[in-house]
Amino acid sequence: MTTTTQAAGEVSYLEAISQALDEEMARDERVFLMGEDIGAYGGAFKITEGFLEKYGEWRVLDTPLCESGFVGAAIGAAMMGLRPVVEMQFADFISCAFDQITEVAAKNHYRWGAAVPMVIRAPFGGGVHGGPFHSECPEGWFFHSPGLKLVAPSTPYDAKGLLKAAIRDPNPVIYFEHKFLYRRIKSSLPEEDYIVPLGKADIKRTGNDISVITYGAMVHLALEAAQTLAHEGIDLEVVDLRTLIPLDKEAIYSSVSKTSKAIVLHEDNKTGGVGAEIAALLAEDCFDCLDGPIVRIAPPDTPVPFSTPLEEFFLPKASDVVAAARRLAAY
Amino acid sequence: MDCAVIAKEIKRDDLLQMYYYLRLTRALEDRITALYRQGRIVGGVYTSHGMEAIAVGYASALERDDIIAPFHRDMGAFLIRGFTPGEVLAQYLGKRTGPTKGKDGNVHMGDLKRGVFGFVSHLADNLPVAAGAALAFKIRGESRVAFAGTGDGGSSRGDFHEAMNFAAVRKLPVVFFCNNNQYAYSTPLRLQMAVADVVDRAKAYGMPGEIVDGNDVAAVYVAAKQAIARARAGEGPTFLEFKTMRMHGHSEHDPAKYVPRELLEEWKMKDPILKAEQLLQSLGYGEERYFQEVVDRVKREVEAGVEFAQQSPLPEGPEVLIGVFADSADSH
Ligand SMILES: Cc1ncc(C[n+]2csc(CCOP(=O)(O)OP(=O)(O)O)c2C)c(N)n1
């Protein structure tokens, strides 16, 4: 396991997460990990491989199979001054801990002033043939629950910096890491300690014609579409939200006031998703600067299917973005 | 109890049929594993290798009208309920002819007509649901039973405990089981619970429980029969702990390095198929030649299934949109 980044070496999205955990554990002895199979096995996706040997069984706790139980325990430990980082084996199983997250963690500080500094890592998303119970994007459930911060990085740089910021944040943070990106996306990282602040979007590509507002794996789809469209003289701006709560409205508004057209793209189901909120905000606050209808691209309102042709149909594609952008450009 | 003594309570044909299903389960899952290794199956593959006696035993003890809420290593229950190897393979290959028509994969399948509740990944989620089925039987005065299980890992979930408690309070006709295969993914029993036997969890709910040799199909069958009879007689739920060992990794991608090899060697000697053969021989119900016939027969059936599944069409993309809502609840 490497603690410091080789300047020359490329680091995968997965390794970036692993590094963030490792560095934060080394930096702050209050930080500890809990989850199923994260110890000897190193986690279902091997994010915590080697951590047990390095930090011992009281900082890398293998839990029984009880999401509600260990999330509740993390809340308690956080209030007592520790900094728990909990791993959901798959984001889908976060529903088992829903009650603790929405009723206890989210409302604690508002009700009686007790902060809950904890992080829940939730490997989410499709494209991996996981079927309805191993591919979900559950951020919409929590987007609607005040008191939680929601993070969804798209690059190794952001993944590392945002996880560090999440661990240092005094609030309950759900960190949605995209399984599809784990080993597919690589980049080199700074050697020094850095964070990516929560609540700040990032323009992953500047452009003048249409803003694509997105996050997670869909950022890469938008970038792919942007490349295709560049040959046709349609210039996309790709706004990577990076955190969903706090939502960087300023970045969204300033991008859309420049381009005057907006596509909102996400992998969670369409109805009532994060995109619906962004579209509503644009309609409320940016009506005057819009030169075309706000377009939402998202999967249909069905569970995530298993079979390859079904999953391919279900997930948004770069060609969907291309087609929508052409329509908008011509509008 | 001595195997042969238990087995005397079981009809010869029933025992032979259980042997056939043990063999069919093994052959089918071995074939699925091979397909997975060839990269022909995408997604997870969870087998019951070494644990086949549990599902085969309990599903054989149930009546047709009873409901099963199986666990993810209960292939035998699906087969006994009439899921064909071809359908199962089609499910694994994501084909339209699988029970979920490609919507879901592997053992995540069900069919109300055949009395099998669709498996939910979120372990133990189906136990309260099974209790609900039993509640319906009780309300309507039907003599039906629900049979539902999870693993040692799943028995730590809140839903497991809520289901047990609710069923016990209302004396519902449900049998809960746990297949204690000693590991939950990589987590050994000692990190899962502070009691040695999962059956101890039943005590808290005032529910009778029993530890059963999960590698002995006759023992599973007899224990299940007794629990089912109790449920049918209105005496309420029973908890059965089937002790066994998971002989493959959690899923076929997992080499299970965390399991001591000696433990596997020890349990290999207790293989449920081996045990069943010894039993059949001791009762004079079967000998080598017969066993070989069954092996050949299930092999043919599985190969026919592979053929069927491979010939079957994949679903088409827009089929994603079908079936989110039901048109009617009366077609079952
Ligand atoms: C609520 C929930 N959390 C996590 C998982 C991921 N997971 C799948 S199987 C498994 C281990 C299950 O162990 P056990 O119940 O003992 O059954 P076994 O697979 O050993 O037969 C885990 C952690 C899950 N399916 N459901």
Do B94 and A303 lie within an 8 Å CB cutoff? no
Segment B251-280 shows an average pLDDT of: 96
Nearest Cα residue to atom 2 of ligand 1: B122
Distance CA B137, CA B115 (A): 13
Percent of chain A residues past pLDDT 70, beyond the cut: 98
User: Is-contact A221 A174, C-beta < 8 A?
Assistant: no
* DSSP string for B221-286: HHHHHHHHHHHHTT---EEEEEE----S-SSTT---TTS-HHHHHHHHTT-HHHHHHHHHHHHTS-
Please give the pLDDT value at position A6. 46
Please give the pLDDT value at position B330. 72
Instruction: Kindly report the number of other CB atoms within 10 A of residue B313's CB atom.
Output: 11
The region that residue B28 occupies, defined by phi over 0 for left and psi between -120 and 50 for alpha, beta otherwise, is alpha
A210, containing H or E segment? strand A210-214
Q: Is A155 helix (H, G, I), strand (E, B) or coil?
A: coil
Distance separating the N- and C-terminal Cα atoms of chain B: 41
Q: Decide: residue A213, CB within 10 A, 0-12 exposed, 13-18 middle, 19+ buried.
A: buried
Residues in A touching B193 (Cβ below 8 Å) = 64
Residue of B nearest to A127 (CA): B43
The token pair that represents B194 in the structure block: 């502070």
Residue of B nearest to A46 (CA): B254
Do A312 and B187 lie within an 8 Å CB cutoff? no
Please give the pLDDT value at position B331. 61
Model pLDDT for residues B287-296, shown as the tens digit of each residue: 999 999 999 9
Under-70 pLDDT residues of chain A? 1-8
Instruction: Kindly report the number of other CB atoms within 10 A of residue A170's CB atom.
Output: 13
Which residues of A belong to the active site?
134
Do B43 and A131 lie within an 8 Å CB cutoff? yes
Do A65 and B187 lie within an 8 Å CB cutoff? yes
Segment B98-121 shows an average pLDDT of: 96
- Pick from A66, A308, A313: CB nearest B94: A308
Distance CA B330, CA B262 (A): 53
B87-119: burial string, b at 16+ Cβ within 10 Å, e else: bbbbbbbbbbbbbbbbbbbbbbbbbeeebbbbb
Alpha carbon of A187 to ligand 1 centroid (Å): 34
Q: How far is CA B79 from the centre of its chain?
A: 10
How many residues can be counted in chain B? Answer: 332
Instruction: Kindly report the number of other CB atoms within 10 A of residue B307's CB atom.
Output: 12
Alpha carbon of A46 to ligand 1 centroid (Å): 17
Distance CA A33, CA A74 (A): 9
Distance separating the N- and C-terminal Cα atoms of chain A: 53
* Residue B315 near chain A (CB below 8 Å): yes
Residue recorded with tokens 């054989």: B60
Model pLDDT for residues A36-66, shown as the tens digit of each residue: 999 999 999 999 999 999 999 999 999 999 9
Please give the pLDDT value at position A248. 98
**B186, B193, B314: best to mutate for the A interface, most A CBs within 10 A:** B186
Given pLDDT bands bounded at 50, 70 and 90, which one contains residue B5? low
Do B153 and A312 lie within an 8 Å CB cutoff? no
User: Is-contact B214 B233, C-beta < 8 A?
Assistant: no
Distance CA A29, CA A55 (A): 10
Considering chain B, what is the average pLDDT of its residues?
Answer: 96
- Pick from B43, B184, B319: CB nearest A129: B43
pTM, to two decimals? 0.94
Residue recorded with tokens 């993390």: A74
**B101, B157, B320: best to mutate for the A interface, most A CBs within 10 A:** B320
**B104, B119, B161, B322: best to mutate for the A interface, most A CBs within 10 A:** B104
Q: Spell out the residues 6+ positions from residue A39 whose beta carbon is closer than 8 angstroms to its own.
A: A48, A51, A52, A57, A60, A61, A62, B186
Distance CA A71, CA A105 (A): 9
Whether B332 shows a pLDDT value over 90: the answer reads no
Identify whether B272 is preceded by a cis peptide bond (ω within 30 of 0): no
Model pLDDT for residues B26-82, shown as the tens digit of each residue: 999 999 999 999 999 988 899 999 999 999 999 999 999 999 999 999 999 999 999
B146, containing H or E segment? strand B146-151
Do B104 and A129 lie within an 8 Å CB cutoff? no
- Tell me the β-bridge partners of A289: none
In degrees and rounded to multiples of 5, residue A293 shows phi and psi of: -70, 150
* Upper half-sphere CA count for residue B74 (Cβ side, 13 Å): 31
- Pick from B103, B187, B321: CB nearest A37: B187
- Pick from A41, A66, A305: CB nearest B158: A66
Q: How far is CA A103 from the centre of its chain?
A: 22
- Tell me the β-bridge partners of A211: A237, A262
Instruction: Kindly report the number of other CB atoms within 10 A of residue B312's CB atom.
Output: 19
Chain A residues with CB under 8 Å of a chain B CB are 36-37, 39-41, 44, 62-69, 89, 92-93, 95-96, 129-134, 300-303, 305-310, 312-314
* DSSP single-letter state for residue A126: -
